[in-house]
Amino acid sequence: MIFYFSGTGNTRWAAEFIARHTGERILSISDEIKTECRYTLSDDERIGICFPIHGWQPPRIVRDFIKKLSLPHSQSHYCYALCTCGDTVGDAITILNKDLSKKGLEAKSFFSLVMPESYVCLPFMYTDTKKREREKIEAAKEKLSIIVDVIRNRENGVDLLKKGPTPQIYSYMIGNFFNKYMITDKPFKVDEKTCIKCGKCTQICPTDNIIGGHGLLPEWKHEDSCTCCLACYHHCPVHAINYGNITKKRGQYFFKE
Ligand SMILES: Cc1cc2nc3c(=O)[nH]c(=O)nc-3n(C[C@H](O)[C@H](O)[C@H](O)COP(=O)(O)O)c2cc1C
């Protein structure tokens, strides 16, 4: 059973790759979190948790899902974690494993994939060039084949993470600040003259945090459910959505095969 969260499609692509090569079912955390999150594993079924890195931590929605998760008799099942990132993951897996331990689970092997950058809301944060996007995806494909072998063989203790320097400083000092103060939908705004009211942002938002579309301008709910994955920003076909003013001249990206 593979649980995944994805804003701009990188993690969904990786999770689907693993599902195809292991034959295991795949479930979207943004859909599942609306249910009671109770699952029964079949004999020998593996547990995979796949997510993008947000501020060197697992995204809030993933952590909330784990809090809700009920997987009776799962301790003996093989568990692994895969995260996608633009560059480095810090100590995110330690944070994930602390959350999982409250459910009697532990990811025994962990992997990261460097994928095209989706975060563009701070100075000096840009989408990658098309060339760099292609290079990252090619390298990720190769690494995924190795990862799939580890998962198939249920190997423990395999650490294929690109943590980066001083992972604890990034994940705890900077990451705690980032996730407390910068994961918010308050700065989102729409350029009323450019918006074509197509409803794409409303439809793509994994937390159902946008109302409007289909003839109406989008409005963010400001109810603390936004996980700031930027799916709305990146999928807007006319770049009418911005995060404050900083993204006005930034690029857009979402995963296309
Ligand atoms: C809010 C936010 C925070 C991010 N923080 C990091 C980070 O700390 N380190 C990093 O390497 N990439 C970071 N990224 C980039 C994403 O982790 C990366 O592009 C990921 O592959 C996106 O996955 P998705 O397409 O499945 O949403 C961040 C992206 C977002 C939207």
pTM above 0.75, yes or no: yes
| CATH number of this structure's domain 188-243 | 3.30.70.20
Query: Residue 129, class by beta-carbon neighbours within 10 Å (0-12 exposed, 13-18 middle, 19+ buried)?
Result: exposed
State the pLDDT at residue 44.
93
Specify the ligand 1 atom closest to the Cα of 12.
Answer: 26
Query: CA-CA distance, 100 to 88, in Å (whole number)?
Result: 21
What is the tens place of the pLDDT at every residue in 157-192? 999 999 999 999 999 999 999 999 999 999 999 999
Q: Is 9 touching ligand 1 by the criterion CB < 6 Å?
A: yes
For ligand 1, atom 18, name the residue with the nearest CA: 85
Above 90 in pLDDT, residue 214?
no
CATH 3.40.50.360-classified regions of the chain: 2-180
Please give the structure tokens belonging to residue 224.
């603390």
- The DSSP 8-state label assigned to residue 207 in this structure reads T
Average pLDDT over residues 183-210: 97
What is the tens place of the pLDDT at every residue in 83-98? 999 999 999 999 999 9
Handedness of CA 151, 108, 51, 255 (dihedral sign): negative
Pair type for strands 241-243 and 188-190: antiparallel
Q: Is 113 touching ligand 1 by the criterion CB < 6 Å?
A: no
Average pLDDT, the chain: 97
What is the tens place of the pLDDT at every residue in 49-104? 999 999 999 999 999 999 999 999 998 999 999 999 999 999 999 999 999 999 99
State the pLDDT at residue 205.
97
Query: CA-CA distance, 6 to 31, in Å (whole number)?
Result: 11
> Which range is least confidently modeled, 206-215, 232-241, 247-256?
206-215
Specify the ligand 1 atom closest to the Cα of 55.
Answer: 8
Cα of 163 from ligand 1 centre, angstroms: 14
Specify the ligand 1 atom closest to the Cα of 115.
Answer: 21
State the pLDDT at residue 35.
98
What is the tens place of the pLDDT at every residue in 5-45? 999 999 999 999 999 999 999 999 999 999 999 999 999 99
Cα of 144 from ligand 1 centre, angstroms: 18
CATH 3.30.70.20-classified regions of the chain: 188-243
**What residue has token string 């499609």?**
9
Annotation: CATH topology of 2-180: Rossmann fold (3.40.50)
